[in-house]
Structure 1
Amino acid sequence: MSHQAAKLEALVKQKGNNTAKKTRFIAITSGKGGVGKSTISSNMAHIMAKNGLKVGIFDADIGLANLDVMFNVKITKNILHVLRGEASVEDILVPIEKNLVLIPGESGEEIFKYASSGLFERFMDEAHILDDLDVMIIDTGAGIGEHIQLFLRACDDVVVVTVPDPAAITDAYATIKVTSRLRNEISVIMNQVRNEKEALGLFEKIQKVALANIGNQLRLNYLGQISSDPKVVMSVKKRALFTREFPTSLPASELEVIVKRLAKKMERNVLVSPQESGLGGFFKRLMEHF
């Protein structure tokens, strides 16, 4: 863990030397609900923040926004209130811990109604307060809806979460197939598995079907697995993060490995010319595809 922390801190320093920081946008999505997507998003954000990265987590789950429950905080207003001119960006931000801020979201048609309004321009100006983010995790809705695809297209990385259930695997593959039309690289996390062997076996089946039906133009990455553990269930019921409550548990260790793999991907892209940053940068990307 100390080695991982050192690498993440080095990444932060490197990025800090750029005159304009490039925020890394990571979408966490799934084919169906109930596979632990938001649990993984919130705990991943905690690990990154704990290791020195400045992290924003945006709740973009249509109608089912629940990151406030995961972090055990109270939400009164979200991004829609900003777009309507009823709040400022600063008003809606919820500090979770050092280096980690929650951006309560609303997705779907409501957001895009304001794309051409003067209020949206004001929102973009105010969003600069988040330009120093190293990472923004986008917790999307489940499924293959049009607006979810817009979020996936706008991100640097797309991570599909699934569980060892036939319906979930089928839906995960459907998400991968549709998303492959937008990008040539997708990562997969196998959640609630018995062990690594089961996780790898299921991933290989998905990979085999993808190769046969999508072709080798898609790079499907195995990002890692999170084992089924009552500690995770207990933490969710308590509205607590399992990586904070049980930092030495197997699921916490497995998620740390996943974060380390994501950090390596970020390191490979540090020298890329910085583009739009923070929340404003993400919405600029969204509007390019709208």
Structure 2
Amino acid sequence: MIGNQAQKLEELVASSTSNEVKKSKKTRFVAITSGKGGVGKSTISSNLAYTLSQKGLNVGIFDADIGLANLDVMFNVKIKKNILHVLKGEASVSDILIPITRNLILIPGESGDEILKYADMALFERFMQEAQVLDKLDVMIIDTGAGIGEHIQMFLNAADDVIVVTVPDPAAITDAYATIKTIATLRDDVGMIMNQVKSEKEAVAVFEKIKKVADANINSNLDLELIGKINEDSKVSTAIKQRALFAKEFPSAQSSRDIEAIALKVASKLERNVLVTSNDSGLSGLFKRLMGHF
């Protein structure tokens, strides 16, 4: 079923390419995922997006964690409509975009399987045209759902970088490993963020254990990289309770310094000066990629 819907949408994407070729920045798509809920994935996604925006980068954060979507809580905003309303013709792209800070925009999303159900020619062409307002994004953070369902794999396939978040808890580590094993069937590179650790030493030790098992049982060609860690910090939970970002409220906290280091690593991978056609960038570029991976 999904395959048929994807084929229909893929044809629409191809037909929506105009003769006029616009040039824009290449957007780097970074998917952040986890094996289970409750490991801080959305907290990391929102604070990473904010930290990158403070570096002068144009950042979009796409909420693909449907069912448990909570980026609106993280950013303390109200979401009335999402991308599904646009695809149904009930809203325009600009109607659903929520400016968070000067360089940061929240894009309320939907799960991949829901997106694929709406493939009306006229509406999708309009959507691709309207989505060009986001063509200048340097980076788009995609906050996926937990687990490794088919619609989540759509986003992991489309991303330039996939980062798995886990905590040093046996059950979470097991789930993270299972997630990495599935992602390895899609791609050869996976990043990891160790959250709620006591120290750098603990983060590296847990990561090395996962890497050792992955190297032995998954694929010797798998490039598993530790992107960074975030220390256990009471200021993180304080910020969450206040519906605020810890990186903004407590910039000198260890957790904020940790997210800063992760942001620098992500920023170093941006291909900021590469000009591409507008259909390969921003929100329209994400959809073109989603359709191209079937």
Indicate whether the TM-score tops 0.5.
Answer: yes
Q: Which residue identity is paired with 1:274?
A: V
Structure 2 distance, partners of 1:260, 1:220, is: 18
Structure 1 distance, partners of 2:234, 2:37, is: 20
Q: How much has 1:274 moved relative to structure 2?
A: 3.0
Root-mean-square deviation over aligned CA pairs = 1.4
Structure 2 distance, partners of 1:186, 1:270, is: 22
After the TM superposition, which of the residue ranges 275-284 and 82-91 deviates more from structure 2? Answer: 275-284
Tell me the percent identity: 66
Q: How much has 1:216 moved relative to structure 2?
A: 1.9
Q: How much has 1:231 moved relative to structure 2?
A: 0.4
Structure 2 distance, partners of 1:189, 1:117, is: 40
Which residue of 182, 192, 197 corresponds with 2:201?
A: 197
**Partner residue, 1:88:** 92
**Partner residue, 1:280:** 284
Structure 2 distance, partners of 1:110, 1:196, is: 40
Q: TM-score, normalising length from structure 2?
A: 0.89
Q: How much has 1:63 moved relative to structure 2?
A: 1.0
**Partner residue, 2:234:** 230
Contact 2:247 / 2:256 at 8 angstroms: preserved in 1?
yes
Q: Which residue identity is paired with 1:130?
A: L
Structure 2 distance, partners of 1:85, 1:271, is: 34
Which residue of 238, 262, 266 corresponds with 1:262?
A: 266
Q: TM-score, normalising length from structure 1?
A: 0.90
Q: SS of the residue aligned with 2:268?
A: helix
Q: SS of the residue aligned with 1:171?
A: helix
Alignment of 1:4-19 (within 5 A): 19=23
Greater relative contact order (Cα < 8 A, sep 6+): 2
Q: How much has 1:272 moved relative to structure 2?
A: 5.5
Q: Which residue identity is paired with 2:170?
A: P
Which residue of 14, 25, 28 corresponds with 1:24?
A: 28
* 1:170 pairs with 2:178: no
Q: SS of the residue aligned with 1:186?
A: strand
Which residue of 148, 170, 188 corresponds with 2:192?
A: 188
Alignment of 1:28-177 (within 5 A): 28-115=32-119, 117-177=121-181
**Partner residue, 2:250:** 246
Task: Give unmatched runs, 5+ long, in structure 1.
Answer: 1-17
Contact 1:115 / 1:287 at 8 angstroms: preserved in 2?
no
Structure 2 distance, partners of 1:93, 1:271, is: 25
Task: After superposition, give the CA deviation of every residue in 1:63-121 in whole Å (9 maximum; x if it has no partner).
Answer: 11110000000111011100100000000000001100000111132111113543222
Task: Give unmatched runs, 5+ long, in structure 2.
Answer: 1-21
Structure 1 distance, partners of 2:191, 2:269, is: 11
Q: How much has 1:133 moved relative to structure 2?
A: 0.4
Structure 2 distance, partners of 1:117, 1:171, is: 40
Q: Which residue identity is paired with 1:120?
A: F
Q: Which residue identity is paired with 1:212?
A: A
Contact 1:63 / 1:106 at 8 angstroms: preserved in 2?
no
User: CA separation of 1:129/1:273 partners in 2, compared to 1, >3 Å: closer, same or farther?
Assistant: closer
Q: Which residue identity is paired with 2:237?
A: V
Q: How much has 1:273 moved relative to structure 2?
A: 6.1
Q: SS of the residue aligned with 2:211?
A: helix
Structure 2 distance, partners of 1:63, 1:233, is: 22
Q: Which residue identity is paired with 1:169?
A: I
Q: Which residue identity is paired with 1:56?
A: G
Q: SS of the residue aligned with 1:274?
A: strand
Contact 1:61 / 1:106 at 8 angstroms: preserved in 2?
yes
Structure 2 distance, partners of 1:271, 1:185, is: 23
Structure 1 distance, partners of 2:103, 2:265, is: 20
